Amino acid sequence: MNSKLANIDYVIFLIYFLIVSGYGYWIYKRKKKGTMDTKDFFLAEGSLTWWAIGASLIASNISAEQFIGMSGNGFFVGIAVASYEWLAAIALIIIAIWFMPVYLKNHIFTMPQFLKTRYNESVSLVMTIFWLFLYVFVNITSIMFLGATAINNLTGGTNLHLVMLLLAVFAIFITLGGMKVIGYTDIIQVAVLIIGGLATTYIALTLVSEKFGLGKDAIAGFNQLLVQAPDHFHMMLKKPTATTPQGEINKYLILPGLTMYFAGQWIVNLNYWGCNQYITQRALGADLKTARTGILFAGFLKLLMPVIVMLPGIAAYVLYKNGSLQQEMSAGGKFLTDNAYSSILGFLPTGLKGLSLAALTAAIVASLAGKANSISTIFTLDLYKKYINTNASEKKMVWVGRIAILAAMALSIVFTWDDLLGIGGEGGFTFIQKYTGLISPGVFAMFILGFFWKRTTATAAIVGLITGFLLALFFNNYAPQVFGNETLLYTAFPNGKGGFEIPFLVGMGWSFFFTMVAMIGVSLTGPAVNAKAFILDKTMFKLSPTHMAMVVTTLIIITLLYVRFW
């Protein structure tokens, strides 16, 4: 393997950089009319088309945690990790049909604003702080660390810290132009990451076919994956028994078979796609038809993502199992599954290596930019404007938003500089899912009851947030010691570290269930209809023939995938 880039690779990457930067600057100058206001900067209100919304959703979602973390889980577990992507497509359907009409009818621009409108100021303030901490210390740091590590490996281990700084500067450049620039440059970012990602998958499959003497044939390579790693092509992992090896138990702890579909996976996906400023912000400035089309288009693109981010990981597993990639899968003498994707990138031919570097950078920068913009939006509109400077002008708030972007990036660099949070040891994708999962049950319960049950009270929302967090913490860390390893609710399995764990998706499901029970119980002590309940009209949820066709097509494809790989 030659991990060094040739001159042509740098030229290709430079072309990508100039196109994205130049297009972003052109959009900024073209759309700017006088002084940029907050709706322009934070929401790009009314200016994003459906295809820009869909592309931006995917560009912001597919980042280092997918390319690196999910590819690593593909190496370790296999196709079962695709459930995150394929169920996301169904989650996007639910968001498009039932969530977006509520947001848009009530003129919701931020998630804390939703909580203030539906509940009260206290609920909004608590969650504003929660979200800011989560975005900075879990999301941006993970994206920065995993992305910089992968790019550093691909470029021959130049300088990890320099790569971090360059990624931050590139993302800041895009973000300071506001959501319009982010949304439209994401179209290019998505095109680059899909083309570059498919090229990497093709090379990975041809490497496998060559390994087994079948020539450069991607189809033959895929068929060899089925032969060499049949256990990696099952969506449902079997529940471990007393004789199950620890490696298989570790897989089940990440993806606990059929049980994760009862609650955990749905909470992860619906909370991420429907109750997340980082995602919903792209559609909140559009009309309902445009927002729905864009979100459903993003669902189509999600079906393709496992091919790009997961198959290279399975290919790396097969190559490693058969004696290749021994050095590439290690760092400092330590085996790391998160090296699966970068180990494949090192085998790309000259030119394609530059394209794949551009694709990886596009995914990282788009996610960093989107996340930083969301941090900026929440901080400026829900903290600064409300509590620090209530008389702030539009111009002042835009500048505060830009300062918030710089501060968020600076903090992320500090905490990723020497991996202070232990992202590398945890595994990037698992790190994000596990720590996001601490607040997901309570947050999703607040939103889903706030949307559709008129009796839900603000007191119940606070109880739900605290209960969800404490229960998630309890099930993740303490339940086996308190109640034992085998109960009616769960089975805890040895984690290989001297203790027992409940699969975190199972724990998340029970946390959500008991949080809902607590919130319903508290709300029943209040009025039959809460004064702040949303007024819902059934016509809000009616679909056009085009949208119905998109929904049905997506569901058919997902059904066929599950039937094939069950």
- With residues binned 3-state (H G I as helix, E B as strand, rest as coil), the percentages for the chain, rounded to 5, are 75, 0, 25
The whole-number pLDDT of residue 42 equals 61
The whole-number pLDDT of residue 13 equals 81
Contact 93, 554 (CB under 8 A): yes
243: how many CB neighbours lie within 10 A of its CB?
Answer: 5
Q: Classify 491 as helix, strand or coil.
A: strand
Contact 428, 146 (CB under 8 A): yes
269: how many CB neighbours lie within 10 A of its CB?
Answer: 25
Strands 334-335 and 493-494: unpaired
Listed by start position, the domains of the chain span: 49-232+281-424
Task: Sort 241 into a burial class: Cβ within 10 Å, 0-12 / 13-18 / 19+.
Answer: exposed
Cα dihedral: 464, 256, 304, 170 (round 10):
60
Radius of gyration over alpha carbons of the chain, in Å? 23
Q: Give CA separation, 110 vs 90, 301, 371, 439, in Å.
A: 23, 25, 13, 18
Cα dihedral: 515, 117, 113, 540 (round 10):
90
496: how many CB neighbours lie within 10 A of its CB?
Answer: 12
Residue 494's DSSP bridge partners are 500
Q: Classify 534 as helix, strand or coil.
A: coil
- In CATH, what number does 49-232+281-424 get? 1.20.1730.10
Q: Classify 494 as helix, strand or coil.
A: strand
DSSP annotation of 420: T
pTM to 2 decimal places? 0.84
Low-confidence residues in the chain, pLDDT < 50: 1
φ/ψ of residue 500, rounded to 5: -125, 145
As given in the structure block, the two tokens for residue 339 are: 């090296």
